[in-house]
Structures are given as structure tokens and as C-alpha cells.
Amino acid sequence: MSQANLESRQNAMLVEELIQSQETIPSVSIIMPVYNEGIAVAGSIQSAIKKFETLLSSTFEMIVVDDGSTDHTRDFLRVIKDERVTVVGYPRNSGKGGAQLFAFQFAKGETVIFADGDMQAFPNDLQHYLDALQDADIAIASKRVPGARVNESIKRHFLSIGFNTFVRILLSLPVNDTNAGFKVFKRASLEKILPLISVKRYAFDVELLVVASKVCNFKIVELPATIILSSGFRFRDVMRMMIDLLGIAYRLKLKHWYQDNHNRPHDEYSPILKW
């Protein structure tokens, strides 16, 4: 074989290996926090995988992050034998926001989905969310748009309306529903948003959307979802969320911390109160 033919064959092999390596990178990364779900966690994750298999035409990976569970959740996660699932975690609970921030470093897809481990919110048409990213930066599930199907108590319904009204007034955020647990992002957008996030627990979703809309000027669209809210809430958690909201307003409107640190290296902001 001539030297030219040998080099041509080697180049062809390199191109083939490059194509194969690119094909292993999933298009969509799904980040799913779990906490103290015990034996039920494996079934929940496997059920979520089947849903995404049905609704996604593109390749995906699922990053399950154990948010410092104190039961045997991590042990039960080891039962899942699916090469698309990566299990990560840490020893101390940090909240859903902290879990999502941690897991993002493992995500490979150009589209990133934040989904709650209990799957209480799920889109009626996931492709609609992905298609929306052609003209928007973020697509979020919402209880307050036509087509949404919601199952919640009357008490929770009015609390949700009051909370989102307060958010709109305090932060001038043009979003009707901030806390539904399903959000789809362009990866490039998250890379600009997450370095400015300081809230890890109660108002994480609000801060994320505030930074996206008011600081990064990203376009957010709200789309219908099926939302089942069966878990309760504690008055203490509501108060902590309100305090977090005041902290976000302080950093946005008075201190201008988000604006000053946007698009430049900065020290992590340390809230006065750490829950």
C-alpha cells in the first residue's frame, strides 16, 4: 500500500472515530434531583425514562442527583442499569436548586431539562417545548396558561396565585408561574445564568428566572403542562421563601449585584441567611 493510500485510510479512520464520538454525546440532558425517596426511587426514575423515551425523538441522558439523602436512596439508585443514567450526589442536603447547580457540571447536551424527581409537573407535548427554543432561550411549564391540567388543593391554589402575584409586583418578572418543576433551557443560556445564582433552596426557581429575564435579557415562554401537587407545605418554608424573595429584590434593585457581575468573573454571593 502506497504512503498516500495509507494516509488516506488513516484520515478516513480518524473521521469515522470523530463521528462515532460525536454520536455518543446526547442531544438532551435531563437533570433530576431526588431526596429521601427510599425504595420508590428506582421505580420513579425508570418510569421517567419511559416517558422521555416516548416523548423525545432525540438522544438523551438523565443525571440523577441525590441531594444528601439520609435514608437508602443512593443504594436503591444502584439498581438502575441504564447507560443513559448517571447517578451523582453528595453527603449533605442542599436543596433542589443546589442539586441542579451541582448536576449541571455533568451535563453534555445542548438542551438541558430541569425536572423534579417526583415528576409532579410534566409537559403535555414535550416537542412543543423543544421547538420553542428555536425562538426562545427558556421554556417553562406553567399552571396559568391555556391547556394546562392542574390537580391541587384549593389552599395550594390560592397560595400559588398569591405568591406569583407578589413575585410579579416585587420583581417585575413577566412570568405567571415560576415554580412548576419542569423547565427546558438552551445550554448556552444556563451557562450565563447559573454563575449568578445564590439561592439554593426556597426561591431558586424565581432567582433563576429573574437573572434570565432581567439581567441576561433572555426570552422565556410559558407552556402548558400536567401538574399534580399532592405534597403539602409548611408555614416556615413559605416564610423562608418570602425572605429569599426580598434578598433577590435587594440584589437586583438596590445592590445591583447581578448586573455588576454579569459577564465577568466574580466572587460567589453569600446571602445573609443560609437555610
pLDDT digits (tens, 9 = 90+) for 33-64: 999 999 999 999 999 999 899 888 889 999 99
Domain count, the chain: 1
- Count of alpha carbons within 13 angstroms of residue 54, beta-carbon side: 10
Which of 201, 12, 234 has the alpha carbon at shortest distance from 96?
A: 201
**Would 17 be classed as within a structural domain?**
yes
CATH code, domain carrying 116: 3.90.550.10
**Would 268 be classed as within a structural domain?**
no
Residue 158, Cβ neighbours under 10 Å: how many?
11
**Would 266 be classed as within a structural domain?**
no
What is the 3-class SS of 238-258, one letter each residue? Answer: HHHHHHHHHHHHHHHHHCCHH
Domain of 185?
3-261
- What are the φ and ψ backbone dihedral angles of 35, each rounded to 5 degrees? -150, 120
The sign of the dihedral angle between the CA atoms of 197, 62, 184, 140 is negative
Which of 75, 61, 54 has the alpha carbon at shortest distance from 24?
A: 61
pLDDT digits (tens, 9 = 90+) for 166-186: 998 999 998 999 988 899 999
**Would 104 be classed as within a structural domain?**
yes
**Would 274 be classed as within a structural domain?**
no
The letter for the amino acid at 110 is E
In a 3-state reduction of DSSP, which class is residue 114?
Answer: strand
Residue 195, Cβ neighbours under 10 Å: how many?
16
Q: Is 67 exposed, middle or buried (0-12, 13-18, 19+ CB in 10 A)?
A: buried
**Would 270 be classed as within a structural domain?**
no
Model pLDDT, residue 15: 44
**Would 102 be classed as within a structural domain?**
yes
Cell of 49: 425514562
DSSP 8-state class, residue 224? E
- Count of alpha carbons within 13 angstroms of residue 98, beta-carbon side: 17
**Would 272 be classed as within a structural domain?**
no
| Regions of the chain where pLDDT drops below 50 | 3-22, 275
Which of 197, 216, 213 has the alpha carbon at shortest distance from 269?
A: 197
Calculate helix-pair angle for 235-249, 154-171, nearest 10 degrees: 10
Model pLDDT, residue 123: 87
